[in-house]
Amino acid sequence: MAQLFTKDTQAIFWNNNKTAIQRMLDYDYTIKRETPSVAAIVAPTASGKFEKFFWGGDEIMIPTYKTTAEAKAAQPQADVLLNFASFRTAYDVTMEALEIGGFKTIMITAEGIPERLARKMNQTARDAGVVVIGPATVGGIAPGAFKIANVGGTIENIVNSKLHRTGSCGLVTRSGGLFNELSNIIAINADGIAEGVAIGGDRFVGSVFIDNLLRMQDNPDVKYMILLGEVGGTEEYKVIEAVKSGKITKPIIAWCIGTIAKYYDSGVQFGHAGASANAERETAEAKNKAMAEAGIHVPATFNDLPAKIKEVYESLNIAPIPEPEMNVVPKVRRSKQFICTISDDRGEEATYAGFPISSVALPSTGKGIGDVISLLWFKKQYPKWATDFIETVIKTVADHGPAVSGAHNAKVTARAGKSVVESLVTGLLTIGPRFGGAIDGAAEHFKYADDNNLSPKEFLNHMKKLGIPIPGIGHRIKSLKNPDLRVKGLMDYAAENFPKTPLLDYARTVEALTTSKKENLILNVDGTIGILMVDMWRALGYPEEEINEFIASGTLNAFFIAGRTIGFIGHVLDEKRLAMPMYRHPMDDILYDVQKAEEI
C-alpha cells in the first residue's frame, strides 16, 4: 500500500469531536473533494441520528451510530477509523474495529494506553495488515486528498504550509506539534509534502518510522523524505539498515531532537513517553551520528535543518507543481433551522425524492399515488405490486360511513359554518388508539409474537398479561358468517401479488384460535392492513429494526389518516352542498343524571 489515503478515502470518526470533524470538512471543501472525508460518527451516548456540519457555506448531515459495527455496516466504504476515544476506551475500540474488519488504517489519538495493551493491540493490527497511526498522535495527511482531524491547524495555516495540494516530500515525525512546524519549514524551503505521518509519542506505537518510510519509498509522488526522530528508542537504526541494504534509495533528511540531554547528569524525559534514553545508542547524538555515517542527510544542528531541506530539494531539480483551484470557506456561516430530505423546490421543476414531479404526476408516466407515497414517505421507488397495495389500502380505508367518530365530528363542524380545513381537522383529531390506531397496534404486537416465535396460545396469554385486547382482532358487526369483504379483498391481493406473507399466515393461525371462542373475533381490516404492511416491508428488504421504527413512529396510522382524509372531506363537502343547518344533538338521546351539588 504505497498511499495511505486518496481523495476518495472516507473515515468513521469515533467520538463526536465536532471541532476536529468540522476542520476535516473545511479541508475537504477547500480542496474540492466530491465526498466528505467523514462518512459516519460513532457516538454511543448520542440521541440523534445525524449531526449537521458546514460544507462551505451550506450544511450537510453526517450520520451517527451507537457502535462501530453499526457504522461500518452502514458505511462499508469507510476504511479508516479515527479513534478519538479516551485512553480508557481506545484499546477496546481499536480491538473491536480489528475484529469487525474492513479497516485499512486506524488512527489513535489517546496517550497513556498501558504499554502491555498497546503492544498487543499493535501486533494484532500488524498481523491483520492494518496500519495503526499512534497512539498519542495528531494523525497524518495526504495533501490535496485527505487529512486527519486537526493536522495542519487552520485552513489559513494549511494553505500557507502548502498542505492543500501534493508536494514532493514524505514527512515522518514522532511529534504532532513539530509536524505542523516542519510542514511550514518544508513549504518555505521546498514545494511541500506528498504525505505526512506523526507516528505518535508513546513508547510503543503501531506503525514505526521504517514502516512509513518504506511505504513512501514506493509512493511515486514522494521524491525525498524527512525523518524527525527524538531521544529514546532504537527505531532510527531500522531506517539506517534499510538505507545500507538498498531498500530505501530515495534521499532522506533526518534529525533526532533531544541532543541537549547529554548535558544532564541523569536521564531526562522530553515530553513524550518514549523520549528518554536508556542506553548510549538511544541518545539523540548517537543516532544523528549513525544516520550521517549511513549517508542520510543530517544537519549540524536543528537550526540548520531548513537549509539542508532547501539544499536537497534543489539538487533533485523537481519540476514546479501547479497550484490547483480552491474553494474559499466563508468567514460567516449560519446554521439552518429546518432540514428537508424528501423534496426540493429550488430548481426549474420541484422534485419528489430527486424525481421531477412531472415524472410521476402525469398520466402518461403510469405512476400513481402509491408511487408518490413511496417517494415522499420512504424515499424509495417501490415496485408496482407494493405501490398498488398502498393504493388499495388508501381506497379501502377512505370512508366507513357517517356514523364513525371522525366523520361525525367533521360533519358537525361543517354544519357550524366552519371551513373545509377546520372541519377536516376535527375529524382527523379523533384518529388514535380507538379509531384507526389498531393498524399500528396490530403490526406491533403480531410482529412481536412472530419475532419471538410465540404460538397462537402463547400470544393470547402474552396479550392477556399486558391487559389489552389484541389489536386487529374483532368486529362489532362482521363475523365468520358475515365476513368483511374489505379484508377478503386485501388478502386476495396479497395472495396474488406478494412474494410471501409470513406474518399474515401467522395471524390467520391466531384468528383460528380466537374465532373458536367467539365468531366475531376475526382479523379485521385494521389488523389485516398493519400485518400486510409488515409483510410488504420485509419483502422489500427492510431490516427488522427499520420496520420497528416505522411502526413506532406512526407510519401505519398515516396510511389510515391519508385514506380517511378523502372520506372526511367528502362528508364535509356533502354538508356544504346540502346547506345543512347548525347541528344540535337531540335531548332524548342523552341520559341526564344531574344531582344537586353538595354545599362545602
Other residues' Cβ atoms within 10 Å of the Cβ of residue 12 = 25
473 and 511 Cβ atoms separated by less than 8 Å: yes
| Helices and strands, number each (H, E), in the chain | 22, 16
Which grid coordinates belong to 221? 509522488
What is the strand order of the sheet 343-344 is part of? 343-344, 351-352, 355-356
Cβ distance 21 to 64 under 8 Å? no
Amino acid of residue 428: L
Give residues with Cβ within 8 angstroms of 372, minimum separation 6: 352, 360, 361
Please check whether residue 53 is in contact with residue 64, taking contact to mean a CB–CB distance below 8 angstroms.
Answer: no
CB 445 within 8 A of CB 433: no
Question: Nearest-CA neighbor of 570 among 336, 348, 402?
Answer: 402
H or E element at residue 410: helix 405-415
DSSP assignment letter at 364: G
Residue pair 180/189 in contact by the 8 Å Cβ criterion: no
- Hey, what's the cell of 90? 481506545
Instruction: Give DSSP secondary structure letters for 365-390.
Output: GT--HHHHHHHHHHSS---HHHHHHH
Positive or negative, the Cα torsion across 573, 579, 584, 585? negative
* Alpha helix ranges (H) inside 36-189: 68-74, 90-100, 115-128, 155-160, 176-189
φ and ψ at 51, to 5 degrees? -125, 140
Residue with cell 476504511: 79
Query: Of these residues, 164, 272, 445, 475, which one is catalytic?
Result: 272
* Cα 252 to Cα 297: distance, rounded to the nearest angstrom: 6
Of 34, 30, 26, nearest to 6 by C-alpha is: 34
CB neighbours (10 Å) of residue 578? 10
DSSP state of 155: H
Amino acid at 543: P
Does 400 qualify as catalytic in the annotation?
A: no
| First-last CA distance in the chain | 89
233: amino acid identity, one letter: G
Report how far residue 445's alpha carbon sits from residue 436's, in angstroms, rounded to the nearest whole number.
15
Strand order in the sheet with 50-55: 50-55, 58-65, 38-42, 11-14, 80-83, 105-108, 131-133
The DSSP 8-state label assigned to residue 70 in this structure reads H
Catalytic residues: 272
